[in-house]
Amino acid sequence: MEYLYTLAILMALYVILAASFNFVIGYGGLISIAHPVFYAIGAYASALLARDAGWPIPLAIVAGALVALLASILVAVPSVRISGDYLLIASIGFQLGVLEAIKNIGWTGGAGGLTNIPALLAPGSNHAIYVALTIAVAIATVVLLRWISRGPYGRAMSAMRDDELAFAALGRNALAMKVAIFALGSGLAGLAGGLYAHYFRFLAPGQFDILQSAALLTMVVVGGLRSTWGPILGAIVLEALPQAITFLDLPPSLLGPLQGILFTGLVLIFMFARPQGLIPAGDIWRGRKAMATDARRA
Amino acid sequence: MLSPLILIQILWTSLATSSCFVLFALAFALVLKVNRIFNFAQAAVMTTAFYAAYTVVGLASGPGWAGLLAGVAGAVAMSAVLELFGFRALRRRQASSMFVFIFTLIVSELISYVAMLIYGTWPATIFPSLFWPVTLVGTIAVSQWDLMALGGTAVVLAATFAFLRWSRTGQSMTAVADNPDLAEFYGIARDRVFLAAMLLSGLIAGFSMFLYGTRAQVQPGSAIELLLFAVAATIIGGIGNLAGAVVAAFVLAIIQNGSVLFIPSEWQGFLLYAFLFLAIVLFPRGVRLPQRKRLVRRTPAPALGPAES
């Protein structure tokens, strides 16, 4: 039963990560893959504040999210001047640099990892409470991001993404909007990090590396970029399917690589068989009637 | 106190070690220039090359030259598969650059997991020993590997630039890199040129990975980290500028190796990522040195007004 709880918690956390990542790269058009590093910053900040500074855990989780948000602003201000492939590569440099620093700093636990992180739940508590908590945060995240992306600010985001020059010509500040999108997405990733840290109670830099970036990117793209439900479905499907072989009772030396092969193989199949994603994004700024008319004409 | 002899020794060792990284950067920069792809799947090519050579030499006790051939053949075959079944299909579908990027990253991961499944996660080397005979030249220790790596790199660099400059296919690559539509208009088959660039890149990556595997331990996930160095060098050297990537790789490798004099060795990796981030944020178009004033022969412009009758 505990295995299923753990799986449900991981899925809920990945829903938060995929939805917030979709907000940054899909709605905001900011091609960065450093999302896991803000997940890491939130996790480490929350864990250290609770463990070493004695902060109450709920407060530490919120503070961890704020630290991730502030860190993302510091990175975004110089970085969002560049765009496209360049921003993508810069984000790789930032992510790996921060992880390398975590590996070499003593108080973060170094490469061996950070242990003895206090748990949010008291010993002997029902783990279903934590499942409910993470699912509630995941639902709140999706609702918040959907509300923003479908409102006036979302329309402005869409305009900025599609034609930044025209957007600026209308007197709007594209840089401020990019920083705000990046910060909100990263802050939510930091929140997921705090929730992760106080359940699993162990953090290591390897958990947030470039493979994690590839997994998140895949969840969003395979699920359906810029759609509300696509990344959620992507997170659940791609987290659940590789678990299928855990019941085969294979040795860990085989299980890890086989899960990896299954995951990457599935992604490649999805990329070629359904490149538009499992749930393709509709044009949300056009009425349903107009889209239906287009469909009839086609 | 740092003596000049120690400094020269570090410089020499850094120069020799940088040779593999220079070729990684050249292979990456070539595909970026011609095919316009940030080819992170080069890590898959490098992993294939290493484990092909390791199988022949390390496991089957074959001779070194057979390992080199196997490594290069493996790398070229993987490059061909990537181009024919991956990039070509994605080009036809007009896939976005992000989609292609994800594809390259996922392929690298897939090959790394396959290598992990077959060979395990322990570090491996192509030859059982990483020690090479050392000769003293003056007071500088020069290993046989240093000479082999520097000599091999010089030959590969010269051959690549000569190929691009004088061969028909090389000239076609330059034409496609400059303007793919115009090149096609002049009868150059773009797909063939893209394939040729991938094969050449695979050849270079295969050779350099063999060199690297004879000097250092490699794990299934090592190639992606090695590749990031090539990415940093390519960006700093200026995208589309192969010679710039080569020079930047030399300089970066020497700085990274020489940094042991000033910072603890465990921070060397951090230095690379800091370079990568700062290079893009500060020099997104590469580092451009001030150009020398050229002597230009000025010829009077012809009058464009109506001719006097």
pLDDT tens column, A170-223? 888 888 999 999 999 999 999 999 999 999 999 999 889 877 888 898 888 888
Confidence grade of residue B286 (pLDDT, cut at 50, 70, 90):
low
> Cβ-count burial of B209 within 10 angstroms (0-12 exposed, 13-18 middle, 19+ buried)?
buried
pLDDT tens column, B104-136? 988 999 999 999 999 998 999 999 888 888 888
Average pLDDT, chain A: 86
pLDDT value of position B89: 92
Contacts of B280 in chain A (CB under 8 A): 82, 86-87, 89-90, 93
DSSP letters, A51-101, are: HTS---HHHHHHHHHHHHHHHHHHHHHHHTTS-HHHHHHHHHHHHHHHHHH
Regarding an ipTM greater than 0.85, the answer is no
- pTM of the complete model: 0.82
Reply yes or no on whether the pLDDT at A286 is more than 60: no
pLDDT value of position A284: 47
**A86: CATH:** 1.10.3470
- Report how many domains make up chain A: 1
The CATH architecture to which B4-282 belongs is Orthogonal Bundle (1.10)
Q: Does B280 touch chain A (CB under 8 A)?
A: yes
Reply yes or no on whether the pLDDT at B294 is more than 80: no
Q: Domain boundaries in chain B?
A: 4-282
- For residue B82, give the nearest of B117, B112, B106 by alpha carbon: B106
Domain that holds residue A176: 2-297
List the single range of A66-75, A149-158, A275-284 with lowest mean pLDDT: A275-284
Among A84, A92, A256, select the one facing B97 at the smallest CB separation. A84
Confidence grade of residue A282 (pLDDT, cut at 50, 70, 90):
low
Region A71-80: what's the mean pLDDT?
84
Asked if B102 lies within 8 A of A25 by C-beta distance, the reply is: no
Compute the nearest-CA separation of A95 from chain B (Å). Answer: 8
DSSP letters, B139-185, are: TEEEEHHHHHHHHHHHHHHHHHHHHHHHSHHHHHHHHHHH-HHHHHH
Query: Which percentage of chain A shows pLDDT scores above 70?
Result: 92
Contacts of B89 in chain A (CB under 8 A): 272
Reply yes or no on whether the pLDDT at A4 is more than 70: yes
pLDDT value of position A239: 83
The single-letter code of the amino acid at A244 is: A
pLDDT tens column, A236-280? 988 887 777 777 777 877 888 888 888 888 888 888 888 777 887
